[in-house]
């Protein structure tokens, strides 16, 4: 026990003197938080819109107003001709265009079908879909507000409601996942380089002739990085909650313990990488290589539901897939431990597997 | 037998088909310095690794501090000290931190640890560098730190793998003074080296080549064996003479020393005559020719020629 503690203490001193690692530990989470919190925003709002209102009546202006008030559309230009509208869409000045024909009011008052055309730039499917859906809602609302009952009356009273993230804020979705991303990237990186460093600098030669046992060396080296991982996770959660006001619905304690399991998986990956690599740069390459699929296939950015089934099968081999469901489940949905059991046991299994395998590999390489 | 610190009995290590160490045997008593000499790749490091308990021998036995290298490697590790050729302490920790860490690894703690650290710092003269990062120490001081580190737990046996490689003469001398001090206090030192004058300082030396010990004994004893067999010839031009003399009957090897040649011969008188004769015939001027006492280097090159030699040395193939 004393030996493990001595190693851990030594490791802390070394990390505290390693400016490059410190910078990475500090800057990477901050940078990611800023990028995903402020920079990347998949919420579609204020779509630049051209309006070609040929009717120029009270009602047509009301219709345009309801579009602008929705905040999904922002009127950039009142167009004066159709060619102007088309060229704006072609050149990307506008992403949507609202064309109101001259007989709009007349038709409405005659209870005939009034036509309104909304042109949407479908190049990027995400904003296009959002624009399309919201335009439907806007038009329906307009009809009700103005006293024109919608033409189709369905026997089913269908009222969809969004749960957990009613405003569809992308920060709510991204920031909890960021805990996983940062841990998945940083922890294996620093663990692997710290262990390989002993090999690269020849320190291991001296350690081998001391009575240190392989498991003591591993535990001693891992403890500091567990502590660092916990500090990083807590900081991200704190910044997420207080700066970006993402509400935490579930139990912080459950979140803490399940994060710890994921942390152990990450440490195991780093440990394994260290047994494969001969030097620090190889180790970081391996870790980068392993982190890529975790970012792309875990559902961090792209939804799993949209992937072909064979890709989804691969994603079930990625620890982050489970961890993302856990953090998002706890933070956004307020799920408890037993609601998440389907995610917890694969993660636990992976933790045990990767740790046992890499410790065995490590001990063999040491002897 | 109680006095034996390290012993090897037909110790052998094979890596696949390659035999790195081939049945070597020796005994080293406490309080003595054992010099292990040999070219790179001769099997020195493999021998050390087996004796330190980190490499299992293929056959044969070895005992270090009374423990068997096959069955008790862990016990061996706690009674030996080890100084590697390459500095392998933590260069980003300072002197005190390195010593504290390794002291704790060997089970020292509290005031026992800090007292012992003070002792080794005084012994090695590292006292003034306490807070200095060990990576910033000069080569000689780094090696002294490595020795200080190796003796923290007061081992009675220390292995040093080329402790003075690449150091300046002054540092080398002060390190050897330190080693003498340790030997005097009863510690057994197992040292590998390439320097002949360092080998001269050992109580026992062994030459190893291709995994076999070619010769073992006290340095003076080994030199004695070559008595009346070394002829020093001062002559011009040197390299031409060297090639000429090597072909003579009774000359086993020629070593060039600055402006003189050392001939390793079987019969001084007869060879001297032949050397003079061939020199006169081929236009080599001899300014002096005399028998001298053998140095360890002569012993080494003699062994080399016996052992078929390596292609770079001017030895006669037998």
| pLDDT of A43 | 65
Contact B41, B118 (CB under 8 A): no
- C-alpha A287/C-alpha A24 separation (Å) is 15
- Write the residue in B74, B84, B86 that is nearest to A211 by C-beta: B74
| pLDDT of B313 | 41
Mean pLDDT calculated for residue range B51-68: 93
| pLDDT of B130 | 92
Alpha carbon A88 to its chain centroid, in Å, reads 33
| pLDDT of B310 | 44
| pLDDT of B51 | 94
Q: Which of A11, A17, A209, A212 would you mutate first to test chain B, the one with the most B CBs within 10 A?
A: A209
Distance from CA of A356 to the nearest CA of B (A): 23
Query: Taking CA atoms, what residue in B is nearest to A9?
Result: B101
- C-alpha A96/C-alpha A77 separation (Å) is 11
The fold of B223-306 is Alpha-Beta Plaits (3.30.70)
Q: Are the Cβ atoms of A201 and B104 closer than 8 angstroms?
A: no
Q: How far apart are the first and last CA of chain A?
A: 21
Task: Compute chain B's Rg from CA coordinates.
Answer: 23
- Summarize pLDDT for B218-271 with one digit per residue, the tens: 988 888 887 778 888 888 888 888 888 888 888 888 888 888 888 888 888 888
Q: Are the Cβ atoms of A211 and B106 closer than 8 angstroms?
A: yes
Distance from CA of A204 to the nearest CA of B (A): 7
Name the least confident of A54-68, A159-173, B187-201.
A159-173
ipTM: 0.81
Q: Is B108 on the interface with A (CB under 8 A)?
A: no
- Write the residue in A17, A209, A212 that is nearest to B92 by C-beta: A17
pLDDT over 60 (residue B95): yes
Q: Considering only CB atoms, which chain A residues are within 8 Å of B105?
A: 3, 6-7, 207, 210-212
Q: Are the Cβ atoms of B90 and A14 closer than 8 angstroms?
A: yes
- Summarize pLDDT for A165-176 with one digit per residue, the tens: 776 677 888 889
Mean pLDDT calculated for residue range B65-80: 92
**Residue-range domain boundaries for chain A:** 2-40+169-366, 47-145
| pLDDT of A14 | 94
- Write the residue in B82, B92, B109 that is nearest to A206 by C-beta: B82
Q: B220: which residues sit within 8 A by CB, 6+ positions away?
A: none
- Summarize pLDDT for A128-162 with one digit per residue, the tens: 888 888 888 888 888 888 777 655 545 565 656 66
| pLDDT of A366 | 66
| pLDDT of B307 | 61
**Residue-range domain boundaries for chain B:** 4-217, 223-306
Mean pLDDT calculated for residue range A76-87: 90
- Write the residue in A201, A212, A367 that is nearest to B105 by C-beta: A212
The fold of B4-217 is Rossmann fold (3.40.50)
Q: Considering only CB atoms, which chain A residues are within 8 Å of B93?
A: 10, 13-14
| pLDDT of A367 | 58
| pLDDT of A159 | 59
Q: Are the Cβ atoms of A211 and B80 closer than 8 angstroms?
A: no
Q: What are the strands, taking DSSP E only, across chain B?
A: 4-15, 18-29, 33-37, 59-64, 67-68, 80-83, 157-161, 188-193, 204-209, 212-217, 230-236, 251-257, 260-265, 285-292
Q: Considering only CB atoms, which chain B residues are within 8 Å of A16?
A: none
- C-alpha A131/C-alpha A44 separation (Å) is 8
Tokens coding A168: 């569809």
Contact B157, B6 (CB under 8 A): yes
Between A and B, how many residue pairs show a Cβ–Cβ distance under 8 A? 66
- C-alpha A194/C-alpha A263 separation (Å) is 16
Q: Decide which of 3.40.1710.10, 3.80.30.20, 3.60.10.10, 3.40.50.300 is the CATH code for A47-145.
A: 3.40.1710.10
pLDDT over 70 (residue B4): yes
Mean pLDDT calculated for residue range A246-271: 93
| pLDDT of B317 | 37
pLDDT over 90 (residue B126): yes
Q: Which residue has the tokens 């054992």?
A: B34
- Residue-averaged pLDDT of chain B: 88
- C-alpha A18/C-alpha A241 separation (Å) is 30
Q: Are the Cβ atoms of B89 and A367 closer than 8 angstroms?
A: no
Q: Which of A17, A194, A206 would you mutate first to test chain B, the one with the most B CBs within 10 A?
A: A206
Tokens coding B185: 């206090």
Mean pLDDT calculated for residue range A59-75: 88
Contact B267, B250 (CB under 8 A): yes
- C-alpha B116/C-alpha B263 separation (Å) is 52
pLDDT over 90 (residue B176): yes
Q: Considering only CB atoms, which chain A residues are within 8 Å of B80?
A: 209
Q: Output the pTM of the full model.
A: 0.79
pLDDT over 90 (residue B308): no
Q: Considering only CB atoms, which chain A residues are within 8 Å of B74?
A: 211
């Amino acid at each position: 026990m004393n030996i493990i503690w001595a190693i851990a203490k030594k490791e802390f001193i070394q990390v505290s003197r390693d400016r490059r690692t410190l910078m990475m530990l500090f800057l990477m989470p901050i940078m990611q938080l800023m990028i995903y919190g402020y920079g990347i925003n998949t919420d579609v709002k204020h779509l630049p819109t051209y309006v070609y209102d040929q009717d120029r009546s009270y009602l047509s202006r009301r219709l345009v107003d309801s579009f602008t008030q929705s905040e999904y559309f922002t009127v950039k230009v009142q167009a004066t001709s159709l060619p102007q509208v088309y060229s704006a869409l072609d050149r990307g000045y506008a992403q949507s265009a609202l064309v109101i024909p001259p007989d709009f009011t007349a038709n409405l008052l005659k209870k005939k079908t009034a036509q309104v055309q909304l042109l949407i730039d479908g190049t990027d499917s995400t904003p296009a879909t959002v624009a399309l859906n919201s335009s439907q809602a806007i038009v329906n609302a307009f009809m009700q507000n103005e006293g024109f009952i919608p033409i189709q009356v369905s026997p089913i009273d269908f009222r969809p409601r969004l749960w957990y993230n009613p405003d569809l804020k992308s920060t709510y979705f991204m920031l909890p996942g960021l805990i996983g991303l940062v841990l998945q990237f940083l922890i294996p990186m620093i663990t692997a380089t710290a262990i390989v460093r002993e090999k690269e600098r020849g320190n291991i030669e001296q350690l081998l002739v001391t009575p240190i046992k392989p498991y003591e060396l591993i535990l001693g080296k891992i403890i500091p990085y567990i502590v660092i991982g916990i500090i990083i996770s807590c900081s991200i959660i704190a910044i997420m909650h207080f700066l970006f006001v993402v509400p935490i619905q579930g139990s912080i304690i459950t979140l803490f313990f399940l994060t710890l399991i994921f942390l152990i998986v990450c440490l195991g990956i780093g440990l394994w990488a260290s047994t494969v690599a001969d030097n620090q740069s190889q180790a970081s390459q391996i870790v980068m290589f392993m982190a890529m699929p975790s970012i792309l296939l875990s559902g961090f950015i792209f939804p799993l539901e949209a992937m072909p089934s064979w890709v989804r099968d691969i994603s079930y081999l990625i620890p982050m897939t489970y961890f993302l469901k856990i953090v998002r489940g706890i933070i956004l949905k307020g799920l408890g431990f037993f609601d998440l059991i389907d995610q917890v046991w694969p993660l636990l299994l992976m933790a045990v597997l990767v740790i046992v395998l890499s410790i065995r590999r490590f001990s063999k390489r040491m002897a | 037998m109680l006095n034996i610190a390290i012993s090897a009995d037909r110790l052998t290590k094979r890596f696949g088909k390659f035999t790195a160490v081939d049945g070597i045997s020796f005994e080293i008593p406490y309080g003595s310095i054992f010099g292990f000499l040999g070219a790179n790749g001769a099997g020195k490091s493999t021998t050390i690794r087996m004796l330190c308990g980190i490499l299992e021998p293929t056959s044969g036995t070895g005992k270090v501090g009374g423990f068997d290298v096959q069955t008790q490697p862990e016990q061996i590790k706690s009674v030996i000290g080890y100084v590697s050729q390459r500095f392998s302490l933590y260069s980003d920790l300072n002197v005190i931190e390195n010593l504290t860490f390794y002291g704790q690894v060997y089970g020292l703690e509290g005031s026992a640890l800090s007292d012992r650290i003070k002792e080794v710092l005084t012994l090695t003269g590292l006292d003034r560098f306490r807070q200095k990062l060990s990576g910033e120490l000069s080569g000689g001081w780094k090696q002294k730190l490595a020795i200080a580190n190796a003796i923290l737990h007061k081992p009675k046996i220390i292995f040093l793998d080329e402790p003075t490689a690449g150091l300046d003469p002054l540092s080398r001398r002060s390190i050897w003074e330190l080693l003498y001090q340790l030997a005097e206090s009863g510690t057994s030192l197992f040292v590998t080296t390439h320097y002949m004058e360092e080998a001269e300082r050992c109580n026992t030396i062994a030459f190893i080549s291709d995994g076999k010990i070619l010769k073992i004994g006290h340095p003076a004893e080994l030199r004695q064996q070559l008595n009346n067999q070394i002829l020093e010839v001062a002559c011009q031009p040197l390299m031409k003479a060297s090639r000429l003399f090597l072909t003579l009957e009774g000359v086993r090897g020629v070593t060039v020393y600055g402006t003189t040649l050392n001939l390793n011969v079987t019969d001084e008188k007869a060879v001297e005559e032949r050397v003079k004769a061939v020199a006169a015939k081929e236009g080599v001027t001899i300014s002096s020719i005399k028998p001298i006492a053998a140095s360890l280097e002569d012993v080494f090159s003699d062994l080399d020629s016996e052992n078929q030699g390596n292609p770079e040395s001017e030895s006669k193939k037998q």
